[in-house]
C-alpha cells in the first residue's frame, strides 16, 4: 500500500476540473460514538470492560458536467480506547468498526494515518474516487465506487464484496471498491449491469467480474446475477413484490467452487501479503422474508436465512473464519440456519425505536440489537443502542480455543452517538 497522504490524489483530481459554483456540490458528516463493552465471561480471559470512542469525519464532493460527474469521498476515523489498539483486528468477536479492505482495491493508501499510542489511532479511507459518464443508453462508472447487490433486507447471499457485519456501528455508506461498471437501460423497466472488479495489484486471484439483469414485471422486481471469481462462480436470483398488504422477498445464491486448498500462512515472494484461501467447497445460501405495517407507526419484518457456508457444529467456527467464504466471499455468520425478526416503532416524527433479533437455530445462540434514534434538527441526530447476546461461551481445547456458540462470546455493549451533517 502507498504510505502517502491521499490529499495529493484529491488535489490532482479536483484541480483538473473546471471551476463553477453550480457544478460542484460538497457535503459531509461528523460522527462520534461512545461505546462501552462489558467483560466477556470467559475462562480464557480476564479482560476488564472496555471504553472506546469511535469518531468519523467524512468529506464528500461531487462535480457535475453535461455528460459526466466526478465523486470523491474521504474519511478520517480517530479511535480511542482504554485497551491496546496496537493489535487492532476487525475480525475479532464483538468488533464494532470495520476497516476498509484493500482486497478489492487496485492500490490504496495506508489505512493508518496516525499511530499515536497504544490507546489512540487515526485511520483513513479514500472511499470514493470515480468518474461517471452519462449517455442516453446508460452510465459508465470508472474508479472507486460502491458495488452491492441483493433483494433481502438483512442477509444478502449475492452481496459478497465487503458487506458490513452485524455489530458494525456506522453502516451508512458501504465500503468502496475499485471497478469499471456499465449500467445499460434495455427497456422501460429493465437494466443490464456489467462490471469488472479490480483487486489488489490487478491480479486475477484478487479480481472479479459480474453480469446482473434487473426487470420489473407485473409488480415483481426480479434480479439475476453471475459473479465470476478466479476460483469460483456465483449464480444468484432475487425477487421482491407486494402480496396484499405484505412485502415479500426471496434471494438465493449458489457458489460453485473450483479452487485448491492452500496454506494461508505461507508468504509469497517479496513483500506480497499472505496467500489468500481458495474456494474449495461449493455451497448454497438463501434468504426469505416479509414485512408488514401493523399500524401507521409500527412496522415488523421477519427473515429466514440458510447459510450453506456455515456449520451445525460450533467446534468448526474458528476454522471457518479462515476459509475463503469468510475471508473473500462476504460471509460472516457461522451457523447454518437463522431466524431474524425485527420491528420499528415511530414514537413521534422525531423519535424512532427499532430492534432486531438474530437467532442461530443451529446452536441456539441469539444476538439482540436495540436502538433509539432522535432527530434534533435537519442536520443533527443522536442514537442510543444496546447489543446483547446469549449462548455458550468460549472454552479452551488442546492449546487453542473453541466457540461454544456463535453469539455467546459477544460482549454486551451499549453505545451513544451524535451525528451532524453538513
CA-CA distance, 33 to 53, in Å (whole number)? 6
DSSP code, position 25: E
> How many residues are listed for the chain in this entry?
422
Question: What grid cell was written down for 183?
Answer: 449500467
Report pLDDT for 269: 47
CA angle (90, 161, 251) in 5-degree steps: 115
Asked if 352 contacts 315 with a C-beta cutoff of 8 angstroms, the reply is: no
Would you say 162 and 175 are in contact if contact means Cβ atoms under 8 Å apart? yes
Cα separation, 269 vs 205, whole angstroms? 16
- Residues of the chain with confidence (pLDDT) below 70: 1-22, 40-47, 86-95, 99-101, 263-274
In 3D, which of 212, 218, 256 has the Cα closest to residue 238? 212
| Grid cell locating 114 | 496516525
DSSP 109: B
Residues 180, 199: contact at Cβ < 8 Å?
no
- Asked whether 401 and 317 are in contact (CB, 8 A), the reply is no
Kindly report the backbone phi and psi dihedral angles of residue 249, in degrees, each rounded to the nearest multiple of 5, phi listed first.
-150, 155
CA distance 2 to 149: 29
Q: How far is residue 326's CA from residue 259's CA, in Å, rounded to a whole number?
A: 15
**Exposure b/e, 284-298, CB count within 10 A at least 16 = b:** ebbbbbebeeeeeee
**Which pTM value belongs to this model?**
0.89
CATH superfamily of 7-421: Porin (2.40.160.10)
Residues facing 66 on adjacent strands = none
For residue 86, the model assigns a pLDDT of: 58
Secondary structure (DSSP) of 368-396: EEEEEEEE-SSSEEEEEEEEEEES--EEE
Looking at residue 91, what is its pLDDT? 39
Give the E-state strand segments of 244-324 in sequence order: 246-257, 283-293, 298-307
- Residue entry with cell 474516487: 129
SS3 295: coil
Grid coordinates representing 236 are 444468484
Q: What is the pLDDT of residue 396?
A: 75
- Alpha carbons 41 and 39: distance in angstroms, whole number: 6
How far apart are alpha carbons 145 and 241 in whole angstroms? Answer: 28
Determine the Cα–Cα distance for residues 260 and 205; give it in Å rounded to an integer: 12
Give phi and psi for 129, each to the nearest 5.
-160, 90
pLDDT value of residue 231: 96
DSSP class of residue 272 equals P
Identify the sign of the CA torsion 312, 328, 154, 351. Answer: positive
CA-nearest of 60, 68, 58 to 17 is 68
Element (H, E) at 319: helix 317-320
Amino acid at each position: 500500500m502507498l504510505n502517502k497522504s491521499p490529499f495529493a490524489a484529491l488535489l490532482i483530481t479536483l484541480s483538473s476540473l473546471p471551476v463553477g459554483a453550480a457544478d460542484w456540490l460538497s457535503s459531509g458528516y461528523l460522527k462520534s460514538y461512545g461505546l462501552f463493552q462489558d467483560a466477556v465471561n470467559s475462562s480464557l480471559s480476564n479482560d476488564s470492560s472496555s471504553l472506546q470512542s469511535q469518531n468519523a469525519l467524512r468529506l464528500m464532493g461531487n462535480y457535475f458536467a453535461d455528460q459526466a460527474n466526478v465523486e470523491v469521498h474521504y474519511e478520517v476515523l480517530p479511535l480511542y480506547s482504554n485497551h491496546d489498539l496496537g493489535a487492532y483486528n476487525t475480525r475479532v468477536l464483538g468488533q464494532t468498526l470495520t476497516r476498509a479492505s484493500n482486497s478489492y482495491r487496485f492500490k490504496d493508501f495506508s489505512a493508518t494515518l496516525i499511530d499515536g499510542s497504544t490507546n489512540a489511532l487515526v485511520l483513513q479511507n479514500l472511499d470514493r474516487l470515480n468518474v461517471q459518464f452519462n449517455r442516453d443508453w446508460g452510465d459508465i462508472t470508472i474508479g472507486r465506487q460502491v458495488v452491492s447487490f441483493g433483494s433481502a433486507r438483512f442477509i444478502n447471499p449475492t452481496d459478497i464484496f465487503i458487506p458490513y457485519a452485524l455489530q458494525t456501528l456506522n453502516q451508512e455508506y458501504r465500503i468502496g471498491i475499485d471497478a469499471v461498471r456499465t449500467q445499460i437501460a434495455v427497456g422501460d423497466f429493465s437494466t443490464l449491469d456489467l462490471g469488472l472488479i479490480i483487486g489488489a495489484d490487478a491480479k486475477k486471484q484478487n479480481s472479479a467480474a459480474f453480469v446482473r439483469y434487473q426487470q420489473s414485471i407485473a409488480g415483481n422486481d426480479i434480479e439475476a446475477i453471475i459473479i465470476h471469481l478466479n476460483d469460483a462462480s456465483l449464480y444468484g436470483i432475487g425477487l421482491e413484490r407486494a402480496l396484499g398488504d405484505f412485502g415479500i422477498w426471496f434471494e438465493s445464491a449458489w457458489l460453485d467452487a473450483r479452487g485448491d486448498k492452500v496454506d494461508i500462512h505461507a508468504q509469497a515472494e517479496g513483500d506480497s501479503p499472505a496467500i489468500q484461501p481458495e474456494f474449495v467447497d461449493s455451497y448454497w445460501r438463501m434468504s426469505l422474508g416479509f414485512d408488514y405495517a401493523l399500524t401507521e407507526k409500527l412496522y415488523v419484518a421477519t427473515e429466514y436465512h440458510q447459510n450453506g457456508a456455515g456449520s451445525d457444529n460450533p467446534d468448526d467456527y474458528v476454522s471457518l473464519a479462515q476459509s475463503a467464504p469468510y475471508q473473500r466471499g462476504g460471509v460472516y455468520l457461522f451457523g447454518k440456519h437463522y431466524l431474524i425478526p425485527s420491528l420499528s416503532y415511530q414514537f413521534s416524527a422525531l423519535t424512532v425505536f427499532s430492534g432486531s433479533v438474530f437467532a442461530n437455530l443451529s446452536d441456539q445462540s441469539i444476538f439482540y440489537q436495540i436502538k433509539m434514534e432522535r432527530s434534533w434538527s435537519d442536520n443533527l441526530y443522536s442514537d442510543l443502542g444496546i447489543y446483547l447476546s446469549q449462548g455458550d461461551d468460549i472454552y479452551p481445547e488442546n492449546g487453542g480455543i473453541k466457540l461454544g456458540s456463535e453469539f455467546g462470546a459477544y460482549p454486551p455493549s451499549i453505545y451513544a452517538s451524535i451525528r451532524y451533517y453538513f
